[in-house]
């Protein structure tokens, strides 16, 4: 009789649906997004991890969680952004720009229609320090080109 009670207790038996993490009322309240500040909210507030300031990461940050095998023994782990070293062409500045860039940023560049349009239309929080400097350089080059054109036409 006693063996069957132990066998079906929640602490030893993990096979039933609804008995795992996030299923009971206690874990739901602690693991809800509203109960703690997330890394995404911190990133949008301008607090990204340092490596993202040296390249175009498109707002991607380190993500934290647990790897959970069949034994349900949780082990902390991180997911890093998929970062590539690429050389991108800027039509406006007429230069090649070498950068560490995430694959998400590459997709965004393709969607915006080019590197210069991506820099012009993307939010500061997604660009990071490196991207903001590139955008300022792009704006300065555009300004100089417009001044040259206005001087030539007059």
Could you read off the pLDDT of 34-53 as tens digits, one per residue?
555 565 565 555 556 788 88
Residue 138 and residue 88: Cα distance in Å, rounded?
A: 14
Query: How far apart are the C-alpha atoms of 127 and 55, rounded to whole Å?
Result: 8
pLDDT at 51: 87
**Looking at residue 29, what is its pLDDT?**
47
Q: Which of 47-51, 79-83, 98-102, 140-144 has the lowest mean pLDDT?
A: 47-51
- Joined tokens for residue 100: 């560490």
pLDDT, mean over the chain = 81
Whole-structure pTM value:
0.67
Which stretches of the chain are DSSP H helices?
A: 2-7, 25-30, 39-44, 103-112, 115-121, 124-153
In terms of pLDDT, which residue wins out, 48 or 154?
Answer: 154
Q: Residue 139 to residues 22, 58, 105, 136: CA-CA distances in angstroms? A: 49, 20, 20, 5
Name the residue with higher pLDDT: 11 or 71. 71
> Domain residues of the chain, as ranges?
83-153
59, 70, 98, 99, 134 from 83: Cα distances, Å: 12, 30, 13, 10, 18
């Amino acid at each position: 009789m006693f063996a069957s009670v132990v066998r079906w207790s929640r602490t030893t038996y993990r096979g039933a649906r609804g008995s795992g993490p996030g299923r009971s009322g206690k874990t739901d309240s602690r693991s809800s997004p509203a109960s703690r500040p997330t890394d995404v909210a911190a990133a949008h507030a301008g607090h990204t991890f340092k490596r993202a300031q040296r390249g175009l990461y498109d707002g991607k940050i380190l993500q934290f969680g647990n790897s959970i095998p069949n034994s349900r023994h949780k082990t902390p782990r991180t997911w890093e952004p998929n970062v590539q070293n690429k050389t991108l062409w800027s039509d406006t500045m007429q230069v090649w720009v070498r950068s560490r860039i995430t694959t998400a940023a590459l997709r965004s560049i393709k969607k915006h229609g080019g590197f210069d349009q991506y820099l012009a239309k993307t939010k500061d929080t997604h660009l990071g320090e490196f991207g903001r400097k590139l955008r300022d350089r792009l704006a300065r080059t555009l300004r100089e080109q417009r001044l040259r054109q206005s001087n030539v036409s007059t």
